[in-house]
Amino acid sequence: MEEPSEYGLSCVGSRAAVGALDDKILTLTGPGGEKLGDAIKRIGGDSARLSEAKRSDIAAFLDLHIEQGIVLESQLLDVGS
């Protein structure tokens, strides 16, 4: 979930990958009162094991959006130009 969420936080997956989902963030609540940590559990995750998601082997991340594809193609632009 990289887009803004109901919990007022974007880049939840990326934050997990860099070890930036702390207990304070996991207590953020959505409009219905559900905590982010509980939502992670509801969809099959385990917020107690988030430290295992941390990666140290990635130097950079490129996020391409498919909705930009037609713009790049129509203007004959290469990705990264």
pLDDT tens readout for residues 21-58: 999 999 999 999 999 999 999 999 999 999 999 999 98
* Within-domain flag for 28: yes
Number of domains in the chain: 1
* Within-domain flag for 80: no
Q: Alpha helix locations (H) across 1-81?
A: 12-17, 23-26, 36-42, 69-74
Model's pTM, two decimal places?
Answer: 0.68
Range(s) of the domain holding residue 70: 12-74
- Provide the 10 A C-beta neighbour count for residue 1: 18
* Within-domain flag for 70: yes
CA distances (Å), origin 11, targets 15, 18, 27, 71, 81: 6, 11, 16, 24, 25
pLDDT tens readout for residues 63-78: 766 666 677 778 887 7
pLDDT tens readout for residues 11-28: 888 899 999 999 999 999
